[in-house]
A and B are shown apart, each in its own frame.
Chain A
């Protein structure tokens, strides 16, 4: 029996969704591909166990985040000085938000970025995000708050966009 039976089907079905998450985490297509390849290789190594009694997709998502944070720790100077991705220059309102958001996401810490991606792109609950990141739900909440606050400071024009996910308290 092929120990990798079902792996190709899993990758074929889920790799594009995982690639998009990797792209949001890294902000760079080449780095995203490297990241996903590393994670998929690890999944292939553990495939018999994951296929039998695991959740390969949840494992992949967790591994993407952890591997990405780990890369940044190891290669911090390289990452921070590399050329930023060329944002879509689409100064119509929606396109502008996207362009600005793409830029400022890269100025968050890796964990803050991961929290936003998991909570608001992957639509995970606080508890699921905490599980993926290996931290407490309280940490997820505080990291979310800090990340959105930092986005507001870095890009005031995103205030409207952000108020939908985190309304700012207005003093009465």
Chain B
């Protein structure tokens, strides 16, 4: 037995259970019946065809009259791509509640709305039910559960405050822990899915503050710490099991990727400065003049990866002007260690950089990559990439698909959406 065999076995175990005996038998019986009656059927078909041709020698009306590319009345406008066809599993309402324990790792999570019954900027409490306005987790085998005690979409929105949509749910890198806002306790809760262990993060976060300002929560790579980047309370990193605050960012600084114990956390200032936070102190390592994105400190403990683009700070950056370089910086000295062009830059629309996949590659999360040749709009959702900081090459790792009326995705290891 080798690890390679084990990995193949793990992949194979993702195959769903099937029960194909009766289907196969029906197929076999149909074929057998068709074979037995084949000659008789062929004779009848030939006779029918002959009669049809005699009655209607021009062929059925309409067939063969439409040629590809030929204008006709009521012509299709090709500028609008076809809507994506929802996968069948996306159309089944998720009613099952996440069991208290014995659950395998989560692949990703999403929340969704209630189709046309949802009204932005209004009190939507009346339309919420068990199948919508809830966080749903998708396990590795595709099983979906709703997290009934997690707050997702704020039903108590107003017309002035309708952009801050939902309370976050974060997933640890290994998919074994989730963190979410428990509205009845006005605190964040961490659940270990297999053992059923639950920890409550001591910081009280008022629901009113969540609805007003929102925020993000993220696990450290080992899942032992949870970073709270919320408006209205200090930006802190909390040890999940003890509830102790292990880092607090100085005023004006925030973080997206809390680090494991012993590793400094990359922080960003509201005024476009980047630094690392350790023992309450920030060491600034970059003050870029253009838009930039940072992730976490690398496995060597010294390097931080950044994505940079051509657009100056303060100017509007749109999706049409993506980041085009990946830069590594020594956080202690602030010196640039490497700088390469992203290859190909247009395929990546990142909005998050995460932790390091290995010594050369950094994880990134971006919007789903559209396929220009497909003639259809892309599936909604996010895509995980690996960016090689030495070559700029980008590898797509996989998609996290949103169902129709989906709201936001939460991917393991990244800030909860």
Contacts and interface: CB of A to CB of B under 8 A. Distances in A.
Interface of A: 4, 7-8, 11-12, 15-16, 19-24, 29, 32-33, 36-37, 40-45, 47, 81, 83-92, 94-103, 105, 116-117, 120-121, 123, 157, 160-162, 164-165
Contacts of B398: 84-87, 89, 99, 103
A67 to B, nearest CB: 13
Contacts of A33: 16, 18, 20
Interface stretch (B26-34, B55-63, B232-240): B26-34
Given A15-B21, A103-B397, A89 B108 contact: yes
Contacts of B4: 120, 161-162, 164-165
Nearest to B28: A44
A96 B357 contact: yes
A91 B174 contact: yes
Contacts of B47: none
A40 B20 contact: yes
B107 A89 contact: yes
B379 interface: yes
B14 interface: yes
Contacts of A81: 371, 373-374
Given A23-B15, A95-B174, 9 more contacts: A4-B25, A20-B13, A24-B12, A37-B24, A40-B20, A41-B24, A85-B398, A86-B401, A89-B411
Contacts of A105: 11
Contacts of B17: 16, 19
B2 A95 contact: no
A138 B109 CA distance: 47
B413 interface: yes
B268 interface: no
Given A88-B14, A164-B2, A15 B355 contact: no
B142 interface: yes
Interface centre among B7, B9, B10, B13, by most A CB within 10 Å? B7
A99 B397 contact: yes
Q: Which of B28, B373, B413 has the most CB of A within 10 A?
A: B28
Contacts of A117: 8
A95 B397 CA distance: 12
Contacts of A95: 105, 174-175
Instruction: Give the secondary structure class of A's interface.
Output: helix
Contact of A165 (B2, B27, B357, B411): B2
Q: Output the residue of A29, A90, A116 with the most chain B CB within 10 A.
A: A90
15 contacts: A23-B12, A24-B8, A37-B23, A40-B20, A84-B398, A89-B107, A89-B411, A89-B412, A90-B140, A94-B10, A99-B397, A117-B8, A123-B5, A161-B3, A161-B4
Interface string B115-127: 0000000000000
Contacts of B167: none
A36 B18 contact: yes
Interface string B165-203: 000000001110000000000000000000000000000
B8 A91 contact: no
B221 to A, nearest CB: 8
A20 to B, nearest CB: 4
A98 B7 contact: yes
B12 A121 contact: yes
Contact of B384 (A29, A44, A89): A89
Contacts of B129: none
B32 A24 contact: no
B379 A83 contact: yes
Interface string B346-369: 000000000101100001000000
A23 B140 CA distance: 14
Contact of A45 (B19, B28, B358): B28
A98 B11 contact: yes
Q: List the 5 shortest-distance A-B pairs measured between CB atoms, nearest first.
A: A44-B28, A23-B15, A20-B12, A41-B27, A40-B24
A92 B176 CA distance: 11
Nearest to A162: B4
Contacts of B19: 15
Given A83-B399, A91-B173, A120 B18 contact: no
Contacts of B274: none
B104 to A, nearest CB: 10
B174 A36 contact: no
Contact of B18 (A16, A92, A121, A165): A16
Contacts of A101: 7-8, 11
Contact of B8 (A8, A12, A121, A157): A121
B323 interface: no
Contacts of A86: 107, 398-401
Interface string B25-50: 10110011000000000000000000
Nearest to B411: A89
Interface string B388-416: 00000000011111000000000111000
A41 B24 CA distance: 4
B25 A7 contact: yes
Given A20-B15, A81-B374, A98-B11, A11 B28 contact: no
Given A45-B31, A86-B398, A89-B107, A11 B11 contact: no
Contacts of B174: 90-92, 95
